[in-house]
Amino acid sequence: HGAMRLAIRARARAGNPDAEVLRDPVVREDPHAHYERLRTPAPFAGGAFARVSVHHDVCTDVLRSDDFGQIGGNRTEGLPPVLRLALRLAGPRPSVGPIDPPSMLAVDPPDHTRYRRLVSRAFTARAVARLRERTGEIAHDLLDDLEREAAATGGQVDLVARYASLLPVTVISEVLGVPVAMREQFLAWADGATPSLDMGLSWRTHREVERNLGELDAWFRGHLRRLRREPGDDLLSGLVTAADDDGAALTEQELMATAALVFGAGFETTVNLVGNGAALLFAHPAQRRLLAEDPSLWPNAVDEVLRLESPVQRTGRRARRATEVHGVPIAEGDLVLLVLAAANRDPRVFDDPHAFDVTRRNARDHVAFSSGIHFCLGAALARMEGEVALRALFERFPDLAAAGTGRRRSTVILRGWESLPVALTPAL
Ligand code: HEM
């Protein structure tokens, strides 16, 4: 074990851009300094573990190429081999994770096409436009609660716990037709499970992830069984009874994976958009003034937040066959890491890339929602929620200010805030 830790540290020192480097608390606070060290003219930064790209064009090309597919790995990848063996001996995993096969996020066509088609209609721009008003109501109800809580506690509240996390989980629960009353429990399960996005988990974290996923899985299975008996007119009931073009219904595993992914992706990322947006606006009062003067800038501001502080920092692909990317030969099976957050600060695409500018003309050219066939299914919903949530917050409380230092999430791939203490009115 000690030897492994030494080896990891040696690789970190050599600038190997894998998860262990990003786990360093200093790097985690400001991963961009680390990403910038990888920004050489070469398409990929090396690395024994995988090739890594921080370039906008390389990331986009790989994501759009059918020479590459999803990694489709499982949560034990990256664990020390002896622990993986122990897990295998312990028997099959009981739960279906939202990002494990057969989740659409983890598979290639033709399965991907089939799963995605089943749910995509619910998330088109038109479907989302119909949700805007309801999202505004949810935002204002939560802000009423926030105001009451602030009055009771002397002015301070945690923006993440009381607003940024509750809004998206409430919206996606209503869309899918799962009980909104369980939202705090859903958040707790998801919080416990999200470290599984990162590789190289400790044994303890891994057990914790499995416990949370297991409980979420059990609840979801029960819920889907109830819907099979008594379908409603919600999205999940539709899925339960849906058949693909060949008339073959989803298997239980496929149904579970699809439901869990859409549900989990529906709030675990958007919370970070709202939190990152609030934190950026606290730090940039001039940008905040621009938005107050011209609210039509809000949609662009949301894209600028996604660009500058991307909630999903990176993704990866595996070569399905031998190929070449920007002159670099890639062997079949090779792993490629795409640092979306760094591509979003590519100076060849974005002027003054590290600046926060809500009037930036091409803010929307970011790849925070990925690109190609796995382009975020919920992008329109996320943009709408981010805009409604941030605008309602800053318009309702023009004096809103950070109160003390927040705490960042400990995850590597997801970037956001675990807590952001705020004061609704300035301290007297
Ligand atoms: C896929 C980001 C919100 C559902 C993705 C991917 C990214 C992403 C980067 C693709 C990953 C890859 O290419 O490997 C985000 C961000 C969000 C957000 C930054 C919020 C700010 C949402 C919401 C939903 C959602 C609200 C709810 C429906 C999905 C689904 C996929 C996906 C189902 C898989 C699509 C596929 O594999 O075809 N998202 N997402 N996301 N997202 Fe989002």
Domains of the chain are 65-423 (1.10.630.10)
Q: Is the pLDDT of residue 114 over 90?
A: no
Contact indicator for 197, 414 with CB cutoff of 8 Å: yes
Q: Mean pLDDT check: name the lowest of 250-264, 307-321, 388-402.
A: 250-264
Split at pLDDT 50, 70, 90, the class of 397 is very high
For residues 90-108, give the mean pLDDT. 72
Nearest CA to ligand 1 atom 30: 377
ipTM of predicted assembly, 2 dp: 0.98
Read off the pLDDT band of 9 (50, 70, 90). Answer: very low
Pairing of strands 335-338, 51-53: parallel
Type and span of the H or E element at 110: none
pLDDT of residue 21: 59
Whole-number pLDDT of residue 47: 63
Give 217 or 5, the one with higher predicted confidence: 217
Q: What is the pTM of this model?
A: 0.90
Ligand 1 centroid from CA 70, angstroms: 14
CA of 268 to the centre of ligand 1 (A): 10
CA angle centred on 296, ends 293 and 297, rounded to 5°? 80
pLDDT of 355 above 50: yes
CA 50–ligand 1 middle distance (angstroms): 23
Ligand 1 atom at shortest distance from the alpha carbon of 104: 37
Measured CA to CA, the distance from residue 328 to residue 262 in angstroms comes to: 35
Please list the residues that pair with 402 across neighbouring strands.
Answer: 422
Confidence grade of residue 241 (pLDDT, cut at 50, 70, 90): confident
Closest to 415 measured CA to CA, from 362, 383, 368: 368
341 lines ligand 1 (CB under 6 A): no
Instruction: Report the percent of the chain where pLDDT is more than 90.
Output: 52
Amino acid 14: pLDDT: 43
Taking the centre of ligand 1 as the mean of its atom positions, its distance from the CA of residue 289, in whole angstroms, is: 31
Kindly indicate the confidence band of residue 155, based on its pLDDT and cuts at 50, 70 and 90. Answer: confident
Confidence of residue 76 (pLDDT cuts 50, 70, 90): low
For residue 112, which atom of ligand 1 is closest to its CA?
A: 38
H-helix or E-strand spanning residue 201: none
Angle between helices 203-229 and 252-268 (to 10 degrees): 110
Outline where DSSP puts E strands in 310-356.
315-319, 323-325, 328-330, 335-338
Lowest average pLDDT, out of 51-55, 110-114, 164-168, 192-196, goes to: 192-196
What is the Å distance from ligand 1's center to 368 Cα?
Answer: 9
Neighbours of 258 (CB within 10 A): 24
Distance 12 CA to ligand 1 centre (A): 30
Q: What is the mean pLDDT of residues 147-165?
A: 92
Nearest C-alpha to atom 35 of ligand 1 is from which residue? Answer: 374
307 Cβ below 6 A of ligand 1: no
pLDDT value of residue 58: 98
Question: What is the DSSP track for 302-320?
Answer: HHHHHHHT-SB--EEEEES
Average pLDDT, integer, range 158-172: 96
pLDDT at 189 over 80: yes
pLDDT band at 8 (very low <50, low <70, confident <90, very high): very low
Q: What span, in angstroms and rounded, lies between the C-alpha atoms of 32 and 14?
A: 18
- pLDDT grade, residue 78 (50/70/90)? low
Give the mean pLDDT of the chain: 86
Confidence bin at 418 (pLDDT 50/70/90)? very high
pLDDT at residue 99 greater than cutoff 80: no
pLDDT of residue 240: 83
Cα–Cα–Cα angle for 313, 50, 352, rounded to 5 degrees:
40
Residue 162 DSSP class: I
Residue 103 Cα: closest atom of ligand 1: 37
Q: Is the pLDDT of residue 306 over 60?
A: yes
Higher per-residue confidence, 382 vs 125: 382
pLDDT of 300 > 50? The answer is yes
* Stretch 293-299: mean pLDDT: 98
Look at ligand 1, atom 22, and give the residue with the nearest C-alpha. Answer: 378
Provide the residue type at 245 as one letter.
D
Measured from the Cα of 63, ligand 1's closest atom is: 13
**pLDDT winner (highest mean) among 107-116, 199-208, 394-403:** 394-403
Ligand 1 within 6 A of 105 CB?
yes
Contact 391, 295 (CB under 8 A): yes
Q: How many CA atoms lie within 13 A of 140 on its CB side?
A: 7
Question: Do 323 and 65 contact (CB within 8 A), yes or no?
Answer: yes
The answer to whether 376 and 104 have CB atoms below 8 angstroms apart is no
Q: What confidence tier does 214 reach under pLDDT thresholds 50, 70, 90?
A: confident
What's the gap in Å between 265 CA and the centre of ligand 1? 6
Atom index in ligand 1 nearest the CA of residue 123 equals: 28
**Span 373-400, average pLDDT:** 96
Which residue among 271, 306, 376, 388 is best mutated to probe the pocket of ligand 1, counting the most ligand atoms within 8 A of its Cβ? 376
Residue 341: which of 38, 1, 14, 7 has the closest Cα? 38
Ligand 1 pocket, 201 CB below 6 A? Answer: no
> Ligand 1, atom 38: nearest CA belongs to which residue?
374
Whether ligand 1 lies within 6 angstroms of the CB of 47 is answered as no
Q: Is the CB of 344 under 6 A from ligand 1?
A: no
Quote the tokens at residue 202: 């400790």
- CA torsion angle 236 238 240 243 (round to 10): -140
Q: Could you tell me if 281 and 390 are in contact, meaning their C-beta atoms sit under 8 angstroms apart? A: yes
pLDDT at 72: 65
14-35: average pLDDT:
68
Q: Distance from the CA of 376 to the center of ligand 1, in angstroms? A: 4
311: pLDDT strictly greater than 80: yes
Q: How far is the CA of 13 from the centre of ligand 1 (A)?
A: 33
Write down the pLDDT at residue 197. 73
Q: Could you tell me the distance, in angstroms and rounded to a whole number, from the CA of residue 90 to the centre of ligand 1?
A: 32
Out of 60, 235, 269, 303, give the residue to mutate to test ligand 1, the one with the largest number of ligand atoms within 8 Å of its CB. Answer: 269
Ligand 1 lined by 414 (C-beta under 6 Å): no
Please tell me the distance between residue 115's alpha carbon and the centre of ligand 1 in angstroms. 14
Count of H helices and E strands in the chain?
A: 19, 11
Give pLDDT, residue 260: 86
pLDDT at 246 over 60: no
